[in-house]
Structure 1
């Protein structure tokens, strides 16, 4: 093995009893925010397409499909912004803790 993979003088973090300071917070998940944003956008598009006046050139289904793409895009965009705000708020409420590394030091 190379010396960089198995150092002869381990650093303090490589020793089994060493504690590491970590930041702990409840992080929101990104994809549920995106999915809900897209779903809200599609629902708004369907309501808009079927409650408005009917066009002589397009069917309601084609208008609903067109609006669904646009509104879903803006729903995802707004949901992503909301995710960033929620993530920032939860990071501010983070607390520091001490963690002990476990397992084989070569696989960390």
Structure 2
């Protein structure tokens, strides 16, 4: 082994025009972020409706329903922002890899 080559470094792959260099990273999933944001908004709405002052015009259930819609919307927006920040952070930690095709290409 050459002194300039590190023992954990894999041997270089021969250049093949079909090989593609790709970025590999753990991408977060969008829908769980949105769902949790909406759920947190609804929970906060119910807490607000049932711990706040009672209205003479509306029942607590009606107030909880109105607040749920608004707070869920705000929760979804905030969750979308958090998703974008987490995605940006994971993209910065991406590593480069070489995608090598396996087997013969299929002809149509």
Question: Normalising by the residue count of structure 2, what TM-score does the alignment of the two structures yield?
Answer: 0.79
1:95 is aligned to 2:95 = yes
Q: Which has the higher helix share?
A: 1
1:5-84 matches, within 5 Å, as 12-13=17-18, 19-84=19-84
Stretches of structure 1 lacking an aligned partner (at least 5 in a row):
1-11, 14-18
Give how far 1:105 is off: 4.2
RMSD of aligned residue pairs (Cα, Å): 1.4
**Quick one: distance in 2 between partners of 1:46 and 1:70?**
12
Secondary structure at the counterpart of residue 43 of structure 2: helix
Stretches of structure 2 lacking an aligned partner (at least 5 in a row):
1-16
Q: 1:38 to 1:100 in 2, by over 3 A?
A: same
**Quick one: distance in 1 between partners of 2:70 and 2:20?**
47
Query: How many residues are paired up?
Result: 91
Question: Normalising by the residue count of structure 1, what TM-score does the alignment of the two structures yield?
Answer: 0.79
Q: Which runs of 4+ in 1 moved over 3 A?
A: 102-107
